[in-house]
Amino acid sequence: MAETPVTTEAIYEALKTVYDPEIPVNVVDLGLVYDVQVKESGDVYVQMTLTFPGCGMGPYIGQQAEWAVQELDGVEEVQIEMVFDPPWSPELISEEARSQLGI
């Protein structure tokens, strides 16, 4: 068992360091992260999506997300699942990101 349990909040903060290279906003504020689960063992599950299913940056974004979470103390295994249901829409973008993007 991990000495320092990792929190869901810490995982979201780590994911805020991950950006879609085509959009200057992190994946959390873009609304791409749908779910985060942490087990007592330190295993982490992240369910996320992309702005569109055929996004060529998908593998890159998923890898960056995995690496960001893996660096947290207390994290053992990281599973990133890319899903496309429900589909992403611009309504999921945070207010802060909206102002950043000028929407």
Report residue 74 as tokens. Answer: 């207390």
Q: What is the pLDDT of residue 91?
A: 95
Mode of pairing for the β-strands spanning 44-48 and 78-82: parallel
User: With 80 as the cut, is the pLDDT of residue 31 above it?
Assistant: yes
Residue 3: pLDDT over 80: no
Residue 103: the pLDDT is 87
Section 6-25 average pLDDT: 94
Residue type, 5: P
More confidently predicted of 83 and 53: 83
On the 0-12 / 13-18 / 19+ scale of CB atoms within 10 A, 26 is buried
Q: What pLDDT digit, counting tens, does each position of 36-54 carry?
A: 999 999 999 999 999 998 8
Residues of the chain above pLDDT 70, percent: 96
What whole-number distance in Å separates Cα of residue 11 and Cα of residue 14? 5
Domains and CATH numbers, the chain: 8-92 (3.30.300.130)
**Cα–Cα–Cα angle for 81, 61, 93, nearest 5°?**
85
- Per-residue pLDDT of 51-64, as tens digits, reads 998 888 999 999 99
